[in-house]
A = this chain, B = another copy of it.
């Protein structure tokens, strides 16, 4: 057992840096926010250092959730949304810049999975699979009380399950990834195709427009049947992915976050139905619950802060009496 302490959690995305002081129970104290100078790795590191200074938590360890492939040494190999990061040794650089503070760098969705696991949508069980359905589909896996990072830090990329080989082009260049069918980007693409092909009623708020994913969600929540069908289709594809993941991992719970979760049950209900149909032996097995994220867009920041506070905590014996 490790006695956790407060950590600074920093979520670095393609457009913004969100930071906060995170208590051992996941509560968020002071916060800070900046734009991401995404083209310039030096500027990102300086901005992170400024944010840490501003948060005024002397000596607190720092956890960073970085949007990209983060290896086990905290090097960001590549990042689709932060072009300045190419084999960027972020952890080593921040350890040097933030003299004396321990630093942990992980993938942003992995950090979010840890947050949901420790004090969010999966706080009552011993693991989860998180899917964040936004512009893309990301995620993270916790199994047996451990964050799964994989042999080279590449684990948790659940958006790149191939569910429809040969299907629509994904941002990653492949065809038929889950992300190409269930992301906000995919929802927007399908809505624009439906409008162009005349499959949208003239009374729909989507009619005559070139809607994005968020617009489709809003129209669906307002009751538009065409928008609802487009969200439901994305939900069914999400369920195909959940079924595949259920067959391979059989997690205690799925947690779904990301911007598209604004659509709530309009997305989740068809996802659950499609998942159950695809679970092997579904008549006699437990079906994993599919829950909405409890931490929302704070999940990555909170998880990063928890990872930092926990991984740098002094080890104590199981009875809590002492330690080295």
Q: Chain B residues near A154: list those with CB within 8 A.
A: 246-247, 250, 279-281, 285-286
Contact partner, A245, options B125, B172, B248, Cβ 8 Å: B248
Q: Does A58 contact B (CB under 8 A)?
A: no
Q: Chain B residues near A277: list those with CB within 8 A.
A: 174
Given the complex of chains A and B, what is the CA–CA distance between A244 and B158 in angstroms?
Answer: 8
Q: Chain B residues near A158: list those with CB within 8 A.
A: 247-248
Can you list, as one digit per residue, whether each of A65-99 has a CB less than 8 Å from chain B (1) or not (0)?
A: 00001000000011000000001000000000000
Q: Can you name the residue of chain B whose Cβ is closest to the Cβ of A127? A: B151
Given the complex of chains A and B, what is the CA–CA distance between A249 and B251 in angstroms?
Answer: 13
Flag if A150 contacts B250 (CB, 8 Å): yes
Given the complex of chains A and B, what is the CA–CA distance between A250 and B69 in angstroms?
Answer: 12
Q: Chain B residues near A78: list those with CB within 8 A.
A: 281, 283-284
Minimum Cβ distance to chain B for residue A147 (Å): 10
Given the complex of chains A and B, what is the CA–CA distance between A83 and B186 in angstroms?
Answer: 43
Q: Can you name the residue of chain B whose Cβ is closest to the Cβ of A161? A: B244
Please judge, given known A-B contacts A152-B286, A252-B151, whether A244 and B281 are in contact too, CB under 8 Å.
no
Given the complex of chains A and B, what is the CA–CA distance between A149 and B144 in angstroms?
Answer: 10
Please judge, given known A-B contacts A243-B162, A288-B151, whether A280 and B143 are in contact too, CB under 8 Å.
no
Given the complex of chains A and B, what is the CA–CA distance between A69 and B284 in angstroms?
Answer: 9
Flag if B165 contacts A247 (CB, 8 Å): no
Flag if A160 contacts B244 (CB, 8 Å): yes
Q: Can you name the residue of chain B whose Cβ is closest to the Cβ of A139? A: B248
Residues 141-198 of A at the B interface (beta carbon under 8 Å): 141, 143-144, 146, 148-158, 160-166, 172, 174
Q: Can you name the residue of chain B whose Cβ is closest to the Cβ of A167? A: B165
Flag if B249 contacts A150 (CB, 8 Å): yes
Minimum Cβ distance to chain B for residue A154 (Å): 4
Flag if A161 contacts B164 (CB, 8 Å): no
Minimum Cβ distance to chain B for residue A163 (Å): 5
Flag if A250 contacts B155 (CB, 8 Å): yes
Can you list, as one digit per residue, whether each of A267-298 has a CB less than 8 Å from chain B (1) or not (0)?
A: 00000000001111101111010000000000
Given the complex of chains A and B, what is the CA–CA distance between A242 and B166 in angstroms?
Answer: 16
Flag if A249 contacts B284 (CB, 8 Å): no
Flag if A156 contacts B288 (CB, 8 Å): no
Can you list, as one digit per residue, whether each of A111-150 has a CB less than 8 Å from chain B (1) or not (0)?
A: 0000000000000010100000000000001011010111
Closest 10 CB pairs of A and B: A150-B250, A154-B250, A152-B286, A157-B247, A160-B247, A155-B250, A77-B284, A151-B252, A161-B244, A69-B281
